Amino acid sequence: MTDFTPPPPSPLLIVISGPSGVGKDTVLQRLKERDLPLHFVVTATTRPPRPGERDGVDYFFVSREAFERMIAEDELLEHALVYGQYKGIPKAQVRAALASGKDVIMRIDVQGAATIRRICPEALLIFLTAEDEETLLHRLRQRHTESEEALRLRLATAKQELAQMSTFDYVVINREYALEETIDTIIAIIEAEHHRVPHRKVTL
């Protein structure tokens, strides 16, 4: 009897990206709460923690000297200087998670996503955005973490990042008061990719 069962899919390297204020952190937190078989990458950063953020959970908060040492020793999958602060993904963490067979999901900025695409063409890139500029600005203001000048800079950067949308595999609009719909869409994308022919085979 012929066996029509396809081979199991390789684990995915999933990138969630998009401009500041679209809700990337909120989306990842809700995905965690869904208790899915995903490994959530923790980003290293030199910025100070915001209220409620925990070291090793939300980010690895490191000194600038420690971060620059990781750059020099090639210990980062990607890194960037964003608004005067470094952010980057430790290589060892991603490789270990993929080796365990789990899909790996990371939240990085648009510049970082371009780096991942270059070094890992089989990564699955999802661009998260708001429905319009007004909504994006409103969300940034709600954070109460930046001055008006800093908000204008973030909005200008967001417009530049939106121009990179076509370089991603999927675009998901994170609409106001529709978080669960956003999460369901992302899960559906991941599920569809597991049935893709040929499978994405990530190598780092």
Catalytic residues: 50, 143, 154
Give the phi and the psi of residue 188 in degrees, each rounded to 5. -65, -40
Residue 169 confidence (pLDDT): 97
The pLDDT tens digits of the residues spanning 111-161 come to 889 999 999 999 999 999 998 878 877 777 776 666 778 778 878 888 889
pTM of the entire structure? Answer: 0.84
Contact 158, 21 (CB under 8 A): yes
Domain positions in the chain are 13-194
Query: How far is it, in rounded angstroms, from Cα 55 to Cα 63?
Result: 12
3-state helix, strand, coil in the chain (%, to 5): 40, 20, 40
The pLDDT tens digits of the residues spanning 76-87 come to 998 988 778 998
pLDDT at 1 over 70: no
Residue 116 confidence (pLDDT): 92
The per-residue pLDDT of the chain, averaged, comes to 89
The yes or no reply on domain 13-194 and CATH 3.40.250.10 is no
The amino acid present at 201, given as its one-letter code, is K
